[in-house]
Amino acid sequence: MPTPNFPSSRLLALNQKPVKPDGSYVLYWMVSNRRMVYNYSLDRAIAYAVSLNKPLLVVEPLAKGYRWSSPRFHQFIMQGMKSNMHAAKNVALTYYPFVETDEYPQEGMLRTFASSACVVITDDFPCFFIPQFVRKLSQIAPCLSEAVDSNGILPIRGTDRLFTVAHSFRRHCQKVLPDFLSESPLSSPTSNLSLPRLEPLGDDVISRWPSAEPLLSQSDSQWMTNITTRLDTPSTDLVGGRCAALEHWRRFKHTRLDNYHLKRSHIDVDATSCLSPYLHFGHISPHELVRDIQDRGNIRPEHLRRSIVDGRRERWWQMPPGPEAFLDQLITWRELGYNRCANDPAYDKFETLPEWALATLNIHRNDERPYIYSIEEFDLSLTHDPLWNATQNQLRKQGTIHNYLRMLWGKKILHWSESPETALSIMIELNNRYALDGRNPNSYSGIFWCLGRFDRAWGPERAVFGKVRYMTSQSTARKYNVSTYLDQFAPEQGNIDA
């Protein structure tokens, strides 16, 4: 068996089939950790390849027909593929990017590639179509298959407990995190790697599923010429891939991290990391971010306040407030969502809201709404509210919304939809259609938070919302300076009457 030290908490055996020692290669089917470093799946695949003395084939596929697929996501993912293509040059593995087109459908590719494998490794990810894909892989691979979890600092299958609020999840983290902080996927798994070379794949394989390398070598603007996707949502200026992710991180770390706790919600300041799309597509790893922050503060896991398990945000990390606040978002809030999706297959269903939220939304379901908009009106920013329209304009154009305004965006969809269930489906549709970081466990955390998940009942009880936390554009404009944001994203619509 490979690497005795490999953390078993990261492994999900997908079938009981044996390793095929006479296979031609170890296959890593890269579907969510789209990177060549800090990646447990790659570490695991390398370990198998070394112990079997077999070539390693890393396939990164991009299908054209998944729900919400569009040029926006294709461009971002393909920019990541380009980074991976460069990272795989001159190392002892074969990287094989594949981009599905009408001419070269992906159908049958996994089965064919898996049929020559000794063992198949893929990424574990608890959301969107990946859980179904993983189940399919377990059936069609003729050899041992494993899904490996690099999602966060805590293994997603480390507990089957569902946490209903951030406070209790933070308490859980305070108990178990120190043990996991000393574990990490490798920072440079391919350096000094020596493996047999892969024999060229057969013409029948290459002609059906050609490598995307020639396509990726063209300019980004040429990429979509022959590729159809479900939606035509245009690409944004945000560049995908590892270099861009690292550049965002470097800038944030040096100029914003120290004031993150003070500025994060300020609408007129760029105060956050903008890493969520890169985390979503796996271009950067939470492990490397946490390690970097710890190194910067010279903090080791043994320095953490193990004695404190009180669920409070402050002072547990023994760091200045900026890095502490950032780690709380990156670990507590981010991994709370992964915990929900991993342990609750109905994570995207209205009925899984907490009982108090279901009850109060139900009591108020027939309340008169001040406005009711259709999904098309929301989509095209045709509401009466300039600030809300600006948030939707930002989402449509840039594939993101400022975090504070994202909450307002969701809350007002609840307020102005004919029912809470309709509001939920509108939020899911627009978020996942436009947001570069959409289709992620955090998408469902954020959207469901607007309806009461991970929150508590608030007073006073209000029409439509009941006891669910309420927000308005006016209160937002009283708290924060929104004029620059309005000028940028809804210049023609006037100001907010705070």
Positions touching ligand FAD (CB under 6 A) are: 264, 272-276, 279-280, 329-330, 333-334, 337, 403, 406-407, 409-410, 431, 435, 437-438, 440, 442-443, 445-447, 449-450
The answer to whether 328 and 313 have CB atoms below 8 angstroms apart is yes
Structure tokens at 123: 């990424």
Measured from the CB atom, the residue of 171 and 453 that comes closer to ligand FAD is 453
Residue with smaller CB distance to ligand FAD, 14 or 450: 450
Whole-number minimum distance, CB 317 to ligand FAD, in Å?
15
Neighbouring residues of 131: CB distance < 8 A, sequence distance ≥ 6? 125, 345
Residue with tokens 């095929």: 20
Round to whole Å and give the CA distance between 329 and 244.
21
Q: 427 vs 111, 350, 369, 414, 438, CA distance in Å?
A: 36, 12, 17, 9, 11
Helices (H), 89-210: 109-115, 130-140, 166-181, 203-208
Q: Which is nearer to ligand FAD, 56 or 166 (CB)?
A: 166
Residue with Cβ nearer ligand FAD (135 or 312): 312
Min dist. Cβ of residue 163 to ligand FAD (A): 13
Residue whose token pair is 């900026």: 322
Nearest-approach distance from CB 305 to ligand FAD, in angstroms: 22
Tell which residue, 124, 162, 121, 119, has the closest CA to residue 142: 119
Q: Tokens standing for 296?
A: 């910067």
State how far the Cα of 364 lies from the Cα of 389, in Å rounded to an integer. Answer: 25
What is the nearest approach in angstroms of ligand FAD to the Cβ of residue 260? 7
CB of 60 to ligand FAD, least distance (A): 21
Q: Which residues of 271-295 are buried (b: 16+ CB within 10 A; e: fewer)?
A: bbbbbbbbbbbbbbbbbbbbbebbe
CB of 216 to ligand FAD, least distance (A): 26
Minimum CB distance to ligand FAD, residue 125 (Å): 13
Q: Per DSSP, what are the bridge partners of residue 95? A: 58
Q: Three-state SS across 21-62?
A: CCCCEEEEECCCCCCCCCCHHHHHHHHHHHHHCCCEEEEEEE
Cα–Cα dist 90/200, whole Å? 16
Question: With respect to ligand FAD, which residue has the nearer C-beta, 93 or 244?
Answer: 244
Of 288, 285, 323, which Cα lies nearest the Cα of 304? 323
Nearest to ligand FAD of 52, 342 (CB atom): 342
Shortest distance, position 235 Cβ to ligand FAD, whole Å: 17
Cβ closest to ligand FAD, residue 145 vs residue 272: 272
Q: Which CB sits closer to ligand FAD, 360 or 443?
A: 443
| In the complex, least distance from residue 267 CB atom to ligand FAD, rounded to whole angstroms | 12
Q: Which is nearer to ligand FAD, 96 or 480 (CB)?
A: 480
* Residues contacting residue 410 through CB under 8 Å, at least 6 positions apart: 427, 446, 447, 449, 450
Return the residue nearest ligand FAD (CB atom): 446
Q: Which two tokens stand for residue 301?
A: 């896991």
C-beta closer to ligand FAD: residue 56 or 395: 395
**Shortest distance (Å) from residue 414 CB to ligand FAD:** 10
CB 152 within 8 A of CB 179: no
Least Cβ distance, residue 209 to ligand FAD (angstroms): 30
- Whichever of 333 and 356 has its CB closer to ligand FAD, that residue is 333
Unique residue bearing structure tokens 């596929």? 61
Largest CA distance in the chain: 72
Q: Closest distance between ligand FAD and the C-beta of residue 79, in Å?
A: 17
Q: Which is nearer to ligand FAD, 185 or 446 (CB)?
A: 446
Can you name the residues that pair with 391 across neighbouring β-strands? none
**φ and ψ at residue 16, rounded to 5 degrees:** -105, 15
Give the whole-angstrom CA distance, residue 203 versus residue 207: 6
Residue 213, both tokens: 């390398």
